[in-house]
Chain A
Amino acid sequence: MIRAIRPGLWPAVVLLVVLAAMAAVPGLFTGADPDAADLNATFAPPGPDHWLGTDENGRDLWARIVHGARPSLLIGGGAVAVALLGGAVVGVTAAQLGGLADQALSRSLEVLLSVPWLLLVFLVVAVMGPGTFPAMVGLALVSLPGFARVVRAEVLRLRAAPFVEAARGFGWSRLQVTVRHVVPNALGPVLALATVTLGATIVAGSSLSFVGLGPQPPTAEWGAMLAASRRTLSVAWWPAAFPGVALTLAVLAITAVGQELQRRADGRHL
């Protein structure tokens, strides 16, 4: 794998590794407590003491960005993981059953697709209450149809492939063939879709925090940090700038790697 990374992709890969490390072990990057309010050091500009400055509560922005990596990435990541699993189940079921059941499932997916994504998430959050988990579930519902459709299409396509025909010739049942041969082969394009979706879902997750429906204070989350920074924009620019940069860089890196994965998946298939 590593050997095959294009030189242009290295920055993205490094960034991803750093972000993953931040999310996993934030203590590696900062010793400061992200929630420690210092009422004597509010709005300290970037400098030697706080190198990205402090926010309206005197909290160190670097520490908050580092600790914010986990919730910020978790909403999107969790949502995509749930959507992938759910989508795979729905997609395989639809392709497997065919006929009326397939039709019904497809229509249901279309219902999910037809409701504006933010409204869908908003309704879920309204039912479950704001927080990381409801946001995750809501966003998972948004991207589930995409996965289900790709999985269904892949299963149908692969089922017509010569090696699958051959397996059936050996007297394997349809389910056996699907599980043993079709699903593993469909994994490539689905994973590629997952990485591409991940970027957009992380942005969507931060949008949700931005309107106050994500993780609750004092959790450091990039979207929530940006929302809070708007109220004090006339006093300090840095709380409004750095979380946005972090978010953009993260999505940029994920998308770059995702596109590369997709290119490879396509290459393998064509």
Chain B
Amino acid sequence: MAGVLKTGPAGNGAPAGTGRAELVRLVLLRAGGSAAVLWGAVTATFVLLRVMPGNTADVLMARSTTASAETRAQLIADYRLDESVGAQYLAYLGKTARGDFGDSYVLRRPVTEVLATQLPHTLLLVAATLVVTVAGAVVLAVLSARAGRVARSVFAGVESLLVAVPPFWLGLVLLTLFSFTLPIFPAVGSSSLSGLVLPTLTLAAGPLALVSGVLREGMLRALHEPFVLTARTRGISETAVHVRHVLRHALLPATSLLGWIGGSLLGGAVIIEIVFSRPGVGRLLLTSVQNKDLPVVIAVVLLSALVFVVFTIIVDVITWLVDPRTREAA
């Protein structure tokens, strides 16, 4: 997991500079590499969707057995489906570079408009999940690091369980218990805050447990470090020691783990959105792949690759800021 840090573009020996200049350099290098990644992701998706069986026009027409030949011709002309794959690819790249994702074949609206209605729901879910993950993990880790041996193994056991439970099943169980049987949370709907509770808990359970475990291990190791001893001898309260020194020290490995989690949450969100009947990019994506709605699929791929890339850069920057040692290592 820490591999995200080690093997990035700047990982291969960028000369050590000083202070801000070096940070800017790090970000620029990363951004350059990221552009290549984004191009690769778009190209790969384009190719995969082209080799998918079934002619795009036929799939679009499958929505109706009654549409006329004129409609079919218009569809083909509008979406330039009669052009060669190469021409379509070049046209697509050109438009994408200008920020124009085109129109959805099936939804018949600009992809940007479609995404604008769906993305906020997914981002809200992912953001809430990240907040719950971080807050929950810190609280759990601080509590369990201070607990006794027995309590600690209970914590560890619960964490293993949370990591092991398949999210879609956890969602099913939570939904059955707290929406269908005891109507505490709404069974459907995404607009209200209460509607966000169960999906967030479901999506956060695994990452929370993972991060909490890593944090605790880090804290336990740090407790024996000399600087903690020094802090204690200076008469700082035990809580302050834990939060100010030990936790801070343990944050580094947890941050890189979190970066990896943040990048992969979108995949998990797809399943959660299906289980909880939530609107969002996840469900949009699933139906779009099935309908060969190429513009939507590529836009989502590009977008999530962008999220991943930005996350990676943020994590690198945080790591750089939190841990001076990595600067020298780089």
B-binding residues in A (CB < 8 A):
8, 106-108, 110-111, 113-119, 122-124, 126-127, 129, 146, 149-150, 152-153, 199, 203, 206-207, 210-211, 223, 226, 230, 233-234, 237, 240, 244, 247-249, 251-252, 255-256
Q: Smallest CB-CB separation from A241: which chain B residue?
A: B173
A244 touches B166 (CB 8 A): yes
- The interface-forming segment of B74-82, B98-106, B129-137, B259-267 is B259-267
Which residues in chain B, 260-304, are within 8 Å of chain A measured between CB atoms? 263-264, 266-268, 270-271, 274, 282, 285-286, 289-290, 300-301, 304
Other-chain contact of A113, B33, B49, B263 (Cβ < 8 Å): B263
Other-chain contact of A207, B153, B163, B166 (Cβ < 8 Å): B166
Minimum CB–CB distance from B166 to chain A (whole Å) comes to 5
A116 touches B33 (CB 8 A): no
Known: A244-B172, A251-B164, A255-B163. A119 touches B300 (CB 8 A): yes
Contact residues of A: prevailing secondary structure: helix
Q: Is B178 an interface residue (CB 8 A)?
A: no
Other-chain contact of A123, B48, B176, B180, B309 (Cβ < 8 Å): B48
> Chain B contacts of A114 at CB under 8 A?
37-38, 41, 263, 304-305, 308-309
User: What separation, in Å, do the CA atoms of A124 and B44 have in the docked complex?
Assistant: 11
Known contacts A115-B304, A126-B49, A251-B165; can you find 12 more A-B pairs with CB under 8 A? A106-B7, A110-B33, A111-B40, A114-B309, A116-B270, A123-B48, A124-B48, A127-B48, A223-B166, A233-B172, A244-B166, A248-B164
Binary interface profile of B, 26-58, with partner A (CB < 8 Å = 1, else 0)?
000000010011101100110011011100000
Known: A118-B267, A153-B7, A211-B286. A111 touches B44 (CB 8 A): yes
Other-chain contact of A108, B38, B40, B165, B289 (Cβ < 8 Å): B40
B161 touches A248 (CB 8 A): yes
Known: A111-B40, A211-B286, A248-B169. A118 touches B270 (CB 8 A): yes
User: What separation, in Å, do the CA atoms of A115 and B36 have in the docked complex?
Assistant: 13
Q: Smallest CB-CB separation from A259: which chain B residue?
A: B160
User: What separation, in Å, do the CA atoms of A126 and B38 have in the docked complex?
Assistant: 21
Q: Is B199 an interface residue (CB 8 A)?
A: no
Q: Is B167 an interface residue (CB 8 A)?
A: yes
> Chain A contacts of B153 at CB under 8 A?
8
Known: A107-B33, A118-B270, A153-B3. A240 touches B41 (CB 8 A): no
Binary interface profile of B, 114-133, with partner A (CB < 8 Å = 1, else 0)?
00000000000000000000
Offer 12 A-B interface pairs, CB within 8 angstroms, sorted by A.
Answer: A106-B9, A110-B33, A111-B40, A114-B308, A119-B300, A122-B289, A123-B45, A153-B6, A210-B168, A230-B172, A233-B180, A248-B164
Contact residues of B: prevailing secondary structure: helix
Other-chain contact of B267, A116, A123, A234 (Cβ < 8 Å): A116
> Chain A contacts of B172 at CB under 8 A?
226, 230, 233, 240, 244
Minimum CB–CB distance from B283 to chain A (whole Å) comes to 10
Other-chain contact of A233, B49, B176, B300 (Cβ < 8 Å): B176
Shortest Cβ-Cβ A-B pairs, 5 listed: A111-B40, A116-B267, A114-B305, A251-B164, A244-B169
> Chain A contacts of B36 at CB under 8 A?
107
B169 touches A117 (CB 8 A): no
> Chain B contacts of A110 at CB under 8 A?
33, 37, 40
Known: A116-B304, A122-B286. A256 touches B264 (CB 8 A): no
User: What separation, in Å, do the CA atoms of A116 and B297 have in the docked complex?
Assistant: 12
Known: A127-B48, A211-B274. A252 touches B166 (CB 8 A): no
Q: Smallest CB-CB separation from B40: which chain A residue?
A: A111
Q: Smallest CB-CB separation from A153: which chain B residue?
A: B6
> Chain A contacts of B167 at CB under 8 A?
203, 207
> Chain B contacts of A256 at CB under 8 A?
160
A126 touches B164 (CB 8 A): no
Known: A123-B45, A248-B165, A248-B166. A107 touches B37 (CB 8 A): yes
User: What separation, in Å, do the CA atoms of A223 and B213 have in the docked complex?
Assistant: 27
Known: A116-B266, A127-B52, A153-B3. A206 touches B301 (CB 8 A): no
A115 touches B289 (CB 8 A): no
> Chain B contacts of A211 at CB under 8 A?
271, 274, 286
